[in-house]
Amino acid sequence: MRNPVRVAGGAARRLLVPEWSAILGDIGVLREDRDRLLSDVRVLRRELADLQRRAAEIHGENEALRARVDSFEEDIDENRRLSARVAEVTDLVTEVVLPLHDREIDVSRMRNEGTEPT
């Protein structure tokens, strides 16, 4: 007489062996996919690190440029103040040093209407 456990085990083995073979094949494919993805992750991490370094460099350059722009704006304001002061001094020197008849001014425009000398 046959051992019923052995018979059942043989039938189970015949059913499970193809399933196990398929599962083992899937595991091989999944390992290849995992290895490829890990490689991609390593590449992406290197690229991310490079981008972060470049972003830090750009941020530093940006801060340096902002400082230069601030300095230029201060210099421009100082230049405007000095130019206005030079114009004021030039006007003062013109009024004090040059007599009225030596200036290139239309004297008739300076008189009120009806106050012409006789």
Structure tokens, 73? 């704006």
Q: What is the pLDDT of residues 64-83, one digit of tens each?
A: 999 999 999 999 999 999 99
* Distance in angstroms (rounded) separating the CA atoms of residues 36 and 30: 10
- One-letter amino acid of 50: D
Is the torsion defined by CA of 76, 78, 80, 82 positive or negative?
Answer: negative
Report pTM.
0.45
Q: What is the pLDDT of residues 84-109, one digit of tens each?
A: 999 999 988 887 776 666 666 666 66
Structure tokens, 58? 């750009």
pLDDT for residue 115 is more than 90? no
For residue 81, what pLDDT is reported?
97
Is the torsion defined by CA of 92, 96, 97, 101 positive or negative?
Answer: positive
For residue 15, what pLDDT is reported?
67
How distant is the alpha carbon of residue 106 from its chain centre? Answer: 58
Structure tokens, 71? 């300095």
Q: What is the pLDDT of residues 14-69, one digit of tens each?
A: 666 777 778 888 888 899 999 999 999 999 999 999 999 999 999 999 999 999 99
